[in-house]
Every structure is written in structure tokens, then in C-alpha cells.
């Protein structure tokens, strides 16, 4: 692992790191904030998954999470959204919603994407092992959150590994990707045309199929231009209600899809996570 930069912040350290990934076959960059802590302490980990076109840098620079993480004693990890580099396949037409920056947190099975687009394995297996080896992380206390495409990733990973993540939350997630243009394009392109294979990567479908979380927190802006066509938050509300899944899903008046929205509610989400990450 190579450290690209490190900066003192709120008594802790904000780092950006790079390593050669076995999962993606590329170099991968990620950021980690480690709060001030006593020597030998092991700290809970909050994973943050970013959205379409983003890298680790978007939340690192605009998420306004460090003050709360320093106060609450949380390690904050932000991976990239896709593999990158020479030889990595991209959308042939250069679209922003597929290919580079749009890995959708799945392990692709379709050529040419299967060679590198293994973001599910990277985020759920390889990067956690790296964090455990190099940072003062208590891997028995993990939680996950994300925005937009990353909200989709946080929900599907959290629903798949409910015993691993003590808290799951999202900002404006793509709630039902199998039913919206962004998701249909990505899931077909990465996983093929068999829609039954998509259900493992669709939060609404997972809940319908019996997956459960102890609790869920979602914030969505009602001025978000993607709400009606791409995010479909009401489908998540309906699925949770029908399944008896405990969830707080809030429509925030006047907020859009941007980091102005995310940063406004980041502190509250982190405190919600911290309450659930305290050692039992």
C-alpha cells in the first residue's frame, strides 16, 4: 500500500492511499480518515460508497464528515467507484452512467467488463482485509452508507451481510435499479440479460425476497431531479412497509442530489451509526 497524501484534520489524519488490487487487476485508490485515539485502541469503521462519476475524492473533499468522526471515534473509509487504468473497458459511447466511475458495486460476468469490474469483491472482501491490516480498525464494528449509486451499493451490501454491518444508511439511493434506466443499463451490461441475476443487486428485490436489516435510515431530497425516474424512493418505502422492515425514510424539502444535501445530513447519519456501533 502506498500513501499518496496525509493531512492533519480535527486531531486525526486524513489519508489517501493506493494499492494493487487482486480483485480488479488494477491499481485502486481510496481515502481513510483516522480520528484521534489512544494508543492501542481499535475503532469502529464506517464505509462510504460514492455515486456515479465520483471517486474517493468527492466525499473526502465535500462530505464534511471529519469533525463528527473525530468526536465519535469513527474511521471513515471511501473507496473508488470503479476500476481505472489502461486496458479497463469503458462505455463505448463515453456515457457517464456506465463503465468508468459507474461500477455499480457488482462483480461483472459479461465481457469485456468481467476482467476488471469486480467492485463487489473489492468492497466486501479485499479492501476490508487491507483496512484491517493497516489501520486501527475494529472489524467487529462496521457500518455502511452511500449516495445515489453508492446508496444502492450500501443497501445491497448491508442487506446481504446483515451480521457484518451494525448500521446501514443512504442518501438518495438508487433504490430499485432493476426498474430504472440507470440500473437496467448497468445490470444488463455487467450481469447479462437474465433479470433473476439482478435481484441480488436490487435493494427492493432483496427485501421482497426476505433480506432484512435491524434498522435503516434514508434521506432523500424532494427537489432531486433524479427522484422520479432513477431513484424511486417510494418503491423502497413500499417494500419496507410490506415486509415489516424497520426503516426511517425521510423526504427533505428543497434538497437536491448534490453534496450540499449530503453534507447537511452527514453529521446526523454518523451519529445514528455511532449509536449502533458502540461496543455491546
- Per-residue pLDDT tens over the stretch 63-76: 999 999 999 999 99
Cβ distance 146 to 103 under 8 Å? no
Query: Is the pLDDT reported for residue 185 higher than 70?
Result: yes
Kindly give, in sequence order, each residue whose CB lies less than 8 Å from that of residue 154, ignoring residues fewer than 6 positions away. 47, 49, 144, 145, 146, 168, 169, 170, 173
Kindly give, in sequence order, each residue whose CB lies less than 8 Å from that of residue 257, ignoring residues fewer than 6 positions away. 148, 172, 221, 224, 225, 226
Residue matched to cell numbers 465520483 = 54
Average pLDDT, the chain: 97
Cβ distance 172 to 162 under 8 Å? no
Q: Is 224 one of the annotated active-site residues of the chain?
A: yes
Kindly give, in sequence order, each residue whose CB lies less than 8 Å from that of residue 157, ignoring residues fewer than 6 positions away. 49, 105, 120, 123, 124, 144, 165
**What local confidence, expressed as pLDDT, does residue 279 receive?**
61
The distance of Cα 54 from the centroid of its chain, to the nearest Å, equals: 11
Supply the pTM of this predicted model.
0.97
Catalytic residue among 116, 147, 201, 257: 257
Catalytic residue among 80, 152, 224, 273: 224
Quickly state the pLDDT bin for 59 (edges 50, 70, 90). very high
Cell numbers at 55, concatenated: 471517486
Q: Is 269 one of the annotated active-site residues of the chain?
A: no
Q: Is 148 one of the annotated active-site residues of the chain?
A: yes
Catalytic residue among 21, 31, 82, 148: 148
- Per-residue pLDDT tens over the stretch 84-112: 999 999 999 999 999 999 999 999 999 99
**What local confidence, expressed as pLDDT, does residue 143 receive?**
98
Query: Is the pLDDT reported for residue 140 higher than 70?
Result: yes
Cell numbers at 106, concatenated: 457488482
Cβ distance 56 to 48 under 8 Å? no
- Per-residue pLDDT tens over the stretch 217-261: 999 999 999 999 999 999 999 999 999 999 999 999 999 999 999
Q: Could you name the CATH architecture of 2-278?
A: 3-Layer(aba) Sandwich (3.40)
Amino acid at each position: 500500500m502506498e500513501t499518496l497524501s496525509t493531512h492533519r484534520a480535527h486531531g486525526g489524519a486524513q489519508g489517501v492511499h493506493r494499492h494493487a488490487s487482486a480483485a480488479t487487476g488494477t491499481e485502486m485508490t481510496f481515502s481513510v480518515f483516522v480520528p484521534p485515539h489512544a494508543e492501542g485502541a481499535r475503532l469502529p469503521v464506517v464505509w462510504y460508497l460514492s455515486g456515479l462519476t465520483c471517486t474517493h475524492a468527492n466525499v473526502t473533499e465535500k462530505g464534511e464528515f471529519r469533525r463528527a468522526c473525530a468526536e465519535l471515534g469513527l474511521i471513515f473509509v471511501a473507496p473508488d467507484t470503479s476500476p481505472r487504468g489502461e486496458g479497463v473497458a469503458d462505455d463505448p459511447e463515453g456515457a457517464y452512467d456506465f463503465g468508468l466511475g459507474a461500477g455499480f458495486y457488482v462483480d461483472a460476468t459479461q465481457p469485456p467488463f468481467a476482467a476488471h469490474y469486480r467492485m463487489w469483491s473489492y468492497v466486501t472482501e479485499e479492501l476490508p482485509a487491507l483496512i484491517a491490516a493497516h489501520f486501527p480498525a475494529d472489524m467487529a464494528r462496521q457500518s455502511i452508507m452511500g449516495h445515489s449509486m453508492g446508496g444502492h451499493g450500501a443497501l445491497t451490501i448491508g442487506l446481504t451481510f446483515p451480521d457484518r454491518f451494525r448500521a446501514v444508511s443512504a442518501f438518495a439511493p438508487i433504490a430499485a435499479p432493476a426498474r430504472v434506466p440507470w440500473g437496467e443499463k448497468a445490470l444488463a451490461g455487467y450481469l447479462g440479460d437474465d433479470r433473476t441475476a439482478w435481484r441480488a443487486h436490487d435493494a427492493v428485490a432483496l427485501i421482497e425476497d426476505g433480506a432484512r436489516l435491524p434498522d435503516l435510515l434514508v434521506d432523500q431530497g424532494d427537489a432531486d431531479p433524479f427522484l422520479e425516474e432513477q431513484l424511486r424512493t417510494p418503491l423502497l418505502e413500499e417494500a419496507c412497509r410490506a415486509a415489516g422492515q424497520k426503516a426511517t425514510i425521510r423526504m427533505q424539502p428543497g434538497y437536491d442530489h448534490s453534496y450540499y444535501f449530503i453534507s447537511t445530513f452527514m453529521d446526523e447519519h454518523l451519529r445514528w451509526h455511532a449509536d449502533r456501533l458502540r461496543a455491546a
